[in-house]
Amino acid sequence: MKRRVVTLLLVLGAILGIAAPALADGAQSGADIHVAQSLGDRDLTVIIRRVAEVPGPVHVDVVTHAGTPAGDVALTLRAAGAPSSTAKVELGATPGFYSGVLRADRSGPWELAVDEATIPFVVPAIVPSPWENATYGGFIAAGVLLLAALLLAVSGRPGLALVPTAGMVAAVAAGVTAALLAPSIPPVAAPGTQLDPTYDNVMNPYERTSIVDFSRPPVNLVPGMDGKDLVLSLTDGSSGRPVDDLLVHDSAFIHLVVVSPSGQLRHLHPVRTAPGEYRARLRDPEQGTHAIAAEIARRGGGVQLLRSSVDVAGSATASPNDGKTETAMEIREAGRPSTITAKFGERDLQPWLGMLGHMIVVGPITGTAVNAPIWAHVHSMIPPTPGMPDKPDESVAAYGPDVPFTYSFPLPGRYLVWIQVERDYSIVTVPKIVDVPAGKVASK
């Protein structure tokens, strides 16, 4: 009897040793945050690197682009109840990456100030899930019970050893069950993406008992000019309060498209200067009414495209966008997919806003862009490339030369199209005019 008990315990111990590494979901770890910022006369990308531990350093990269003035930017990291951390980053005349290091003493919601711009973000806490605790707890309990059963068996009390043995079997079963079921259990809503982040729900994301509805009303957009700055006021369509829950969507809080009276494009990324207030500078604008479209993603409200126009005082004459690039176009009738491929000659393009290329579509044009019914923002994705990172940043210049787009123009007519890519830290804009034929009328 004693020999049988010991043999059983050894077998279970081997099973325990094999099963122990089979853990399920890991803790929340966060990721790098890329935010494009049209900060005054500078076009920057601010990268908040993943925070590995707290207290600990927060590494911030500021990426400059061609034409960005040299000089200093002040970085300030702050959170409610936490000491602020500051650093100065000297931006050189050569476009590229410039770094600063700040310090965070806790997990939770934080705000990074870059001069007058502010970027809310979340430092996630490393919080094990209940099923991860069940997996660890089951295997740890099984190990303790295994030791107790072995001690009882070798001390000449094999009958008593059956009690912890049975408990060990139950503990192993609980741990293995938790590990196997964990991948099929939906994750909790992440504070900062689906929920407004607070210190409490970041530190204890599994304590929330019920979440009924994440949906939020549409956003009202009211534009205005303050000197050279285009100011966007965002308010909630239900309460009228400032909207301060925008998410970083395709590496920006707001993708702002501004089309001048002569049809020139500006693709800007306004900076947050107050709750519900965003600003972007219009350098050398034309006089007249400019059409604007703001693409945003609101927490719990999904992606929204907001349209408006603004009267701008300016004296600049119309200047063409810069690209003279060969383009192959297969334009089909309205309602069917068309293909537009820009050919840039060299395999040296950099990712911009997380994509290989962007195509802005406005039309059909019957006067100015203000009256165009269709506005679209189309992406050319970064192709998977052996030896390259899955999510490359702007330091990788190894893509192209062809940049393809597929889009179904919904209405016949003439469209203004702009293709944008990044090369040598400079945004290249290629304007095109596309005539879309009407679909064939089926004969009766």
Quick check: do 33-123 and 219-312 share a fold?
Answer: yes
Q: What is the pLDDT of residue 21?
A: 36
Q: Residue 356 and residue 174: Cα distance in Å, rounded?
A: 47
Segment 227-232 shows an average pLDDT of: 96
3-state class (DSSP) for residue 199: helix
Kindly report the average pLDDT of the chain as a whole number: 87
Phi and psi, residue 241, nearest 5°: -80, 160
More confident call, 40 vs 388:
40
| Residue at token pair 């006021």 | 233
pLDDT above 90 as % of the chain: 62
More confident call, 33 vs 300:
33
Segment 7-21 shows an average pLDDT of: 45
Strands 426-436 and 117-123: unpaired
What is the reported pTM?
Answer: 0.83
Q: Residue 407 and residue 376: Cα distance in Å, rounded?
A: 9
Pick the CATH number of 219-312 from 3.40.50.620, 3.40.50.2300, 2.60.40.1220, 3.40.47.10: 2.60.40.1220
184: exposed, middle or buried (Cβ count in 10 Å: 0-12, 13-18, 19+): exposed
More confident call, 17 vs 276:
276
Where are the chain's structural domains? 2-26+128-184, 33-123, 219-312, 326-436
Q: What is the pLDDT of residue 385?
A: 79
Segment 17-44 shows an average pLDDT of: 66
* Run of H or E including 46: strand 42-48
Lowest-pLDDT choice from 64-73, 247-256, 378-387: 378-387
Can you name the CATH fold of 33-123? Immunoglobulin-like (2.60.40)
Which structure tokens are listed for 267? 């693709």
Pick the CATH number of 326-436 from 3.30.479.10, 3.40.190.10, 2.60.40.10, 2.60.40.420: 2.60.40.10
Please check whether residue 253 is in contact with residue 277, taking contact to mean a CB–CB distance below 8 angstroms: no
Banded model confidence at residue 29, pLDDT cuts 50, 70, 90: very low
Q: What is the pLDDT of residue 395?
A: 93
Which structure tokens are listed for 390? 């899955």
Q: What is the pLDDT of residue 319?
A: 63
